[in-house]
Chain A
Amino acid sequence: MHGLILSLESLLNWDSFSKIASVSSIASLLVTIWVLFETRKLRALYKLRVRGPVLIKDLHKMASNLSGYLNDYSDSTIRIAEELGKIGGKLNSLQTKLSGNPKNAVKRVRGYIDRCEVKSENEEQVRRVHIEIIKVIEELKDHQKDLDWEK
């Protein structure tokens, strides 16, 4: 019994207390960072749940417009450039709400759009970008379905 009291006293001396306090404050800092990170993730998820379907619908409409302009490429370069600009903006808005693979896919397509110069000799490149936009829309639709499952 006496030994136990002695060891408790040595455990609760100022030095040990200060060590325990330091470890606890580091642990609480880590927990705070984790909570902050999770809250940010939740906020992004919530924004995506609410805005995602609308943004995807807009993208779908813009991609259809783009496809329509490609029926007559040489006479539609200005409208194609405008539509690509709008799609780039929409993808940018989506990118901030995404993470992981969908975010990378959106980023990749934005890169294609940024590098794509719409002029008569670049028709094939523009057509490739159009197909990449379709792929990313499909990926986003899948992602949205996954989110619905997580409800």
Chain B
Amino acid sequence: MSTERNKWIDAVGKLITLTQKRKLGWRSYSSEGYSGLSGVVDVIYQADYNGKTLRLYESKSRPERGMFPVSEWEREAVLDLVDSTGLSIWTFPHTEATEHLLSAVKYQVAGVGEFLEELLTA
């Protein structure tokens, strides 16, 4: 099981590297109009790689324990492969690597690196 999981971690690790080296560009969208997403979603990130579209988002949920939902939101990054109509055809198994990918994507999309550079050279 761990060998199989390690393969997925390696794959997502590759996406992290490509993202951090700006070789894989991500776009952000509002989640409105998207269906089939799990939990509450604010922003969706998409990228194209080798003719496939990757979709990444942070799913928020308040799981019910006992009779009432717990007060704190649980967050989890979800990475999907989607078809041309935007439907999810495969969800990557969730690991720590997916969370790191989401952070790298947010950093890239928000342009944190460029902002810092501009700020420091101003």
Contacts and interface: CB of A to CB of B under 8 A. Distances in A.
Contact of A64 (B6, B10, B100): B100
Contacts of B20: 70-71, 73
Contact of A71 (B5, B6, B95, B113): B113
Nearest to B97: A134
A131 interface: yes
Nearest to B17: A127
Interface residues of A, number: 18
A73 B20 CA distance: 9
A67 interface: yes
Interface residues of B, number: 21
A135 B17 CA distance: 16
B60 to A, nearest CB: 18
B50 interface: no
A18 to B, nearest CB: 54
Contacts of B108: 71
Main secondary structure of the interface of A (DSSP, over half): helix
Given A60-B96, A139-B2, A134 B104 contact: no
B8 to A, nearest CB: 10
Interface in B47-85: none
A142 B95 CA distance: 11
Contacts of B113: 71-72
A64 B9 contact: no
A145 to B, nearest CB: 12
Contacts of B38: none
A137 B97 CA distance: 10
B95 A63 contact: no
Interface string A116-151: 000000000001001100110111001000000000
B107 interface: yes
B9 A134 contact: yes
Interface of A: 60, 63-64, 67-68, 70-73, 127, 130-131, 134-135, 137-139, 142
Interface of B: 2, 5-6, 9-10, 13, 16-17, 20, 95-97, 99-100, 103-104, 107-108, 112-113, 116
Nearest 9 Cβ contacts at the A-B interface: A131-B13, A67-B100, A134-B96, A71-B107, A134-B97, A71-B20, A137-B96, A135-B6, A135-B9
